[in-house]
Structure 1
Amino acid sequence: MRKIFMWKTLFSYIVFIVITHHSSTLQAAETGLQHGYECVRCDLQGKDFQQLNLAHANLQETVLMTSNLHQANLTQANLSRADLRGADLSRAVLTAAILTHADLRRVELSNAQLSHAQLMQADLSDADLTAAVLTKANLQQADLKNAQLENIKASLAIFTAADLRNALLTKADLRGANFTQAKMSESNLENTQLSWAILQKADLRGAFLTNADLRRANLREADLRGADLQKADLREADLTDANLNKTNLQDALFSRESDIQKARLQGANLQGACFAITVADKPQWSCIR
């Protein structure tokens, strides 16, 4: 009898701990998650987590649609497959956060910190990422159609096979970023830093690249038909087999290393384009008039 009583007492104590822990977790979810909390598949739609510390929180498949996460700390948080549609993540810290397959349509991410974040196959269509930091972030196969990406800092970020059609990327820092096979038709990349960027086999038909810095960029087999590259700097860019048919290259800058002869140029506008030949470490220009 004594053993039975002891086992009953122990079982009651364990149940008490489980219920207490479950209640505290639910309360935390309602009033504000804390550092390291786990709330998988929770419904937190429309909740206010403004400026809270959610670092390392496990929020996989959680519904956070229209929630307020302004200036929240989500460093290394797991938000894979989370529903964040229409949420406010402006100025949030998402450094090294996991957002793979997350639904981020129409989300507000302006001035957010997303360096080293994992955004593979995330849906960011119509999202606002103005002035966000995406340095070394992984956006492979992400959907960024119609996204606002002005002034982003995304050097060395991965955009391979991403969909950036009609995206606004003016004045962005994309140095060394990888856009291999990315869909970028009709995107706006005016005054954008793309030196050393990899744009191999990228679809840039009808894209706006006026005044873009494409020095040493890899544009092998890129499709630039009908694109506007007026005043773009293409010195030392690799244009091997690039399709520049009917492309506007007026006043663009090239160098011998650009090897423009290896590109397709039928119907391209090269008026005012200049070619640099380095002599004694000083460039000498030869321009088409």
Structure 2
Amino acid sequence: MKPILTAAVIAALVGAAQPAFAQNAGQIARVRGGASCAGCNLFQAGLSGLQARGLNLSGARLRQADLSLAVMNRTRFSNADLRDVEAYGGVFSGSNFSGANLTNASFVGTYLEGAAFSGATLTGVNFSGASLRGATGLSQARLNQACGDEATQLPRGLSIPRC
């Protein structure tokens, strides 16, 4: 005897196959309003120019988000997904990027002084013109996976390949 698939079962199976990764507009609005949102889905969020201090965005999905010209000092991005983020000209001094995935992110001209990068994935990150003085958790081996230029400011003793 063959099982018969009803329209309801087929619809449920098709719905289950759809990815549940779309951005959450309500969560994005909360962050735009200056609220913390640990673990939130901020995929492709437009946060350009945001001015918020000390937010907790730990574990948040910020993949492909626009953080350009944002001022987010002392924000916790630990274990967050920041792949392909655009953070041109942002200010993130004292922020925590520990364990975050920054693959292919653009931090061109970004102020990251005193930021923490312990365990962060830096593959393909563009730090051209960025200020990373006083940043912690950086190693030469991990910086060799990123790139910068002659204007990139690094902690003493470290260098970065040219983009």
| TM norm structure 1 | 0.44
**How far apart, CA to CA, are the structure 1 residues paired with 2:68 and 2:137?**
22
**How far apart, CA to CA, are the structure 1 residues paired with 2:23 and 2:132?**
35
**How far apart, CA to CA, are the structure 1 residues paired with 2:33 and 2:25?**
18
Higher relative contact order (CA 8 A, sep 6+): 2
Structure number with higher strand proportion:
1
Q: Which residue of 2 aligns with 1:78?
A: 36
Task: Provide closer, same or farther for how the CA distance between residues 44 and 154 of structure 1 changes in structure 2, counting only shifts above 3 A.
Answer: closer
TM-aligned CA deviation for residue 179 of structure 1: 2.9
Amino acid at match of 1:208: P
SS of corresponding position for 1:183:
helix
- Structural RMSD (CA): 2.6
Amino acid at match of 2:70: A
In the comparison of the two structures, how many residue pairs are matched? Answer: 140
Q: Which residue of 1 aligns with 2:59?
A: 101
The answer on 1:208 being equivalent to 2:152 is no
**How far apart, CA to CA, are the structure 2 residues paired with 1:73 and 1:175?**
30
Would the aligned equivalents of 1:166 and 1:184 in 2 still touch at CA under 8 Å?
A: no
**How far apart, CA to CA, are the structure 1 residues paired with 2:114 and 2:78?**
15
After superposition, the C-alpha distances for 1:59-79 in whole angstroms (9 at most, x for unaligned) are xxx4x4xx697xx441xx221
SS of corresponding position for 1:104:
coil
Q: Which residue of 1 aligns with 2:146?
A: 187
**How far apart, CA to CA, are the structure 1 residues paired with 2:94 and 2:111?**
10
Counterpart of 1:165 (choices 104, 110, 123) is 123
Percent identity at matched positions?
A: 26
Q: Which residue of 2 aligns with 1:153?
A: 111
TM-aligned CA deviation for residue 83 of structure 1: 0.2
| Structure index of larger Rg | 1
**How far apart, CA to CA, are the structure 2 residues paired with 1:129 and 1:104?**
11
TM-aligned CA deviation for residue 103 of structure 1: 0.3
Q: Which residue of 1 aligns with 2:14?
A: none
**How far apart, CA to CA, are the structure 1 residues paired with 2:30 and 2:65?**
11
**How far apart, CA to CA, are the structure 2 residues paired with 1:208 and 1:180?**
14
**How far apart, CA to CA, are the structure 1 residues paired with 2:25 and 2:154?**
38
Would the aligned equivalents of 1:110 and 1:132 in 2 still touch at CA under 8 Å?
A: yes
Counterpart of 2:70 (choices 93, 100, 112) is 112
Amino acid at match of 2:145: E
| TM norm structure 2 | 0.75
**How far apart, CA to CA, are the structure 2 residues paired with 1:114 and 1:127?**
14
**How far apart, CA to CA, are the structure 2 residues paired with 1:68 and 1:188?**
33
Q: Which residue of 2 aligns with 1:224?
A: none
Any gaps of 5 or more consecutive residues in structure 1? Answer: 1-42, 48-61, 211-289
**How far apart, CA to CA, are the structure 1 residues paired with 2:123 and 2:92?**
19
Any gaps of 5 or more consecutive residues in structure 2? Answer: 1-21
Task: Provide closer, same or farther for how the CA distance between residues 170 and 80 of structure 1 changes in structure 2, counting only shifts above 3 A.
Answer: same
Task: Provide closer, same or farther for how the CA distance between residues 46 and 100 of structure 1 changes in structure 2, counting only shifts above 3 A.
Answer: closer
